[in-house]
Structure 1
Amino acid sequence: MSDADESEPWAQALRRATGLLAEAGVDSPRVDAELLLAHVLGLGRGELLARVFAGAAGTAGEAERFAALVARRARREPVQHLTGVAFFHGLDLAVGPGVFLPRPETELLVDAVLAELTARPAAATVVDLCTGSGAIAAAVAAWAQEHGRDVAVTAVELDDEAASWARRNLEPHGVRLRQGDALVALPELEGRVDVVVSNPPYVPEAETPVQAEARLDPARALYGGDAAGMRIPVGIAARAAALLVPGGLFAMEHHETQGAALIETLGADGGFEDVRVHADLTGRDRFLTARRSAGPSGSQKMEE
């Protein structure tokens, strides 16, 4: 059969691929099968589904490429590695091996930052520490562009591979990328930043990610530097306190077990007040927000 010959209808191929991925333990087998087929055909997922419903079939070559990707996904390669794209807060981000894949729950962290910027005057300075793929910084900058807001965004990333991905995602949105250690970054901005946001490494060192795909994320982006996973998050909070103006917002994702300890650390003598822990859509503690206090220490507040 030549590449121009038609294969089976895509609806049938999708059903078979969905079954294979479900048997392999993939969490969203149908969605992943659709994303892989859309990638093969160079279509958006909506356009793909319209063609599938109309009874379209592909060529033998397309079917072979689709089957090969499905087989790799069944071996638990992340779908984002196979397509080269991660969808995050309305953006298509370039990703691949060597960079932490952005998660849907982190969109809630972005929403907290955007709520803060919406309530502020048009001009603001935002810093994203441990930017990874640049997902958070890109989302904030894209929002500012869309709404005509004067928001200067700077992202910081230490790892060479992650920084190369971040550069691709940040340049279209005018975000400045600074490669270096987030724990000491941007001394020229100390006391001048309105919002500091971070999704730092925070996994406790003995914890192994449950999902096979998550275990392919670089360890440097996962583990928080000690048994409780707290060393790096606490260091990021200290850097945020140095960068922020009084009243400035700090927003940071963290492990579900770390909320109470972070409230105590940031509020007792960490330079923050109104420290609050927020849950994700599953009800797990997922990120905190805090205000930079005017004095050297903040006042501890109860969790929401």
Structure 2
Amino acid sequence: MLHSPGERPPNPRSVLLAEVAQATQRLADAGVPSPRFDAEELAAHVHGVKRGELHTVPDADFDARYWEAIARREAREPLQHITGRAFFRYLELHVGPGVFVPRPETESVVGWAIDAVRAMDVVEPLIVDLCTGSGAIALALAQEVPRSRVHAVELSEDALQYAQKNVAGSRVVLHHGDALSALPELDGQVDLVVSNPPYIPLTEWEYVAPEARDHDPGLALFSGEDGLDTIRGIERTAHRLLRPGGVVVIEHADTQGGQVPWIFTEEKGWADAADHPDLNNRPRFATARRATP
């Protein structure tokens, strides 16, 4: 099509870009932490493309369902619940109401765990993931430690349904059960126990971000007055499951730095208990090694 001098040709991206800009402002006004990213991710989801392909969506194809998705995010419904997916390391996971949405902070936990397992002189390391939720940690370990044997334990039936979808076709063996009494048949044999358990104190409820407080299952968030009840129980489970020299890796809140290693004491049969920082240099997870008699 020819255009008269001085006339600007129509921009095929003008409508979509304008809508994304408007949506970004709405999400920012609602207090959403990453408004531009979320506005683009929702546009890509609604139009069935990747974020980097938004420029390929013609104006005529603009989908009014975009504003329905923006309204849900504006109300602080998690982005991952709206899209039905979450990304974790190299994985794309099914998530939604009833299962904890994996966070980027936990990727540091998995990275340390992978390095620890690779450093072991074990041909087929045996790994147990307690409180697996969506199965994110277990799947990442199975994918990145190729000869590992991975067992994952989850108590919630709602979360278990998502985990079953996610681990289908993988080497992960999924168990419906309580992390505090799980897998007695593996006692003394496990090389690595890893967990992202509930660790928020009940007294902190009102300070939790709406996306987590109102949408993540409480079972995956809160654990007693100081937030450490489940971690204390996992300490006992890990000591029972691990072989001498085996390692436990457990996530905790950044405000609990220094507290969790004291749960894994020498008197209880542990050695080398220590805290480790996340990518923002905040204390995020603790590790310990089952002492060798």
Tell me the TM-score normalised to structure 1 length.
0.87
Does residue 39 (structure 1) correspond to residue 45 (structure 2)? The answer is yes
Gaps of 5+ in 2: 1-11
1:83 is displaced (CA, Å) by 0.3
Does residue 283 (structure 1) correspond to residue 272 (structure 2)? The answer is no
Which of structure 1's runs of 4+ aligned residues deviate more than 3 A? none
1:260 is displaced (CA, Å) by 2.4
Q: Equivalents in 1 of 2:123, 2:39: separation in Å?
A: 42
1:58 is displaced (CA, Å) by 4.4
Give the conservation status (yes or no) of the 8 Å contact 1:26–1:74.
yes
What residue in structure 1 maps to residue 173 of structure 2?
Answer: 176
Q: Equivalents in 2 of 1:67, 1:213: separation in Å?
A: 19
Gaps of 5+ in 1: 1-5, 296-304
1:135 is displaced (CA, Å) by 0.9
Give the conservation status (yes or no) of the 8 Å contact 1:163–1:179.
yes
Does residue 130 (structure 1) correspond to residue 131 (structure 2)? The answer is yes
Give the conservation status (yes or no) of the 8 Å contact 2:261–2:287.
no
Alignment of 1:140-179 (within 5 A): 140-144=141-145, 149-179=146-176
Does residue 51 (structure 1) correspond to residue 56 (structure 2)? The answer is yes
Give the conservation status (yes or no) of the 8 Å contact 1:10–1:58.
no
The letter for the 1-side match of 2:237 is: R
What residue in structure 2 maps to residue 299 of structure 1?
Answer: none
The letter for the 1-side match of 2:198 is: P
Q: Equivalents in 2 of 1:192, 1:259: separation in Å?
A: 29
Q: Equivalents in 2 of 1:238, 1:258: separation in Å?
A: 19
Q: Equivalents in 2 of 1:159, 1:90: separation in Å?
A: 25
What are the superposed Cα offsets for residues 202-222 of structure 1, whole Å, 9 maximum, x if unpaired? 111111243111112111111
Alignment of 1:9-24 (within 5 A): 9-24=15-30
1:40 is displaced (CA, Å) by 0.8
Q: Equivalents in 1 of 2:257, 2:270: separation in Å?
A: 15
The letter for the 2-side match of 1:65 is: R
What are the superposed Cα offsets for residues 56-88 of structure 1, whole Å, 9 maximum, x if unpaired? 42425x1x1111101111111111000000111
Q: Equivalents in 1 of 2:22, 2:260: separation in Å?
A: 47
Q: Equivalents in 1 of 2:13, 2:289: separation in Å?
A: 59
Q: Equivalents in 2 of 1:199, 1:236: separation in Å?
A: 10
Q: Equivalents in 2 of 1:123, 1:102: separation in Å?
A: 26
Q: Equivalents in 2 of 1:42, 1:19: separation in Å?
A: 23
Residue 68 and residue 103 in structure 1: after superposition, are their counterparts in 2 closer, same or farther (change >3 A)? same
Give the conservation status (yes or no) of the 8 Å contact 1:129–1:200.
yes
**CA-based RMSD:** 1.7
What residue in structure 1 maps to residue 117 of structure 2?
Answer: 117
What residue in structure 2 maps to residue 244 of structure 1?
Answer: 242
What residue in structure 1 maps to residue 268 of structure 2?
Answer: 270
Alignment of 1:219-258 (within 5 A): 219-224=218-223, 226-258=224-256
What are the superposed Cα offsets for residues 148-177 of structure 1, whole Å, 9 maximum, x if unpaired? x31010000011001111111112322110
Partner SS, residue 273 of structure 2: strand
Give the conservation status (yes or no) of the 8 Å contact 1:202–1:255.
yes
Give the conservation status (yes or no) of the 8 Å contact 1:7–1:59.
no
What are the superposed Cα offsets for residues 79-127 of structure 1, whole Å, 9 maximum, x if unpaired? 1000000111121110001111111000000001111122234411110
Q: Equivalents in 2 of 1:219, 1:101: separation in Å?
A: 12
How many residue pairs end up in the alignment?
279
Give the conservation status (yes or no) of the 8 Å contact 2:235–2:263.
no
Residue 113 and residue 58 in structure 1: after superposition, are their counterparts in 2 closer, same or farther (change >3 A)? farther
Give the conservation status (yes or no) of the 8 Å contact 1:125–1:151.
yes
What residue in structure 1 maps to residue 5 of structure 2?
Answer: none
Residue 172 and residue 34 in structure 1: after superposition, are their counterparts in 2 closer, same or farther (change >3 A)? farther
Partner SS, residue 288 of structure 1: strand
1:8 is displaced (CA, Å) by 5.5
What residue in structure 2 maps to residue 298 of structure 1?
Answer: none
Q: Equivalents in 2 of 1:172, 1:41: separation in Å?
A: 29
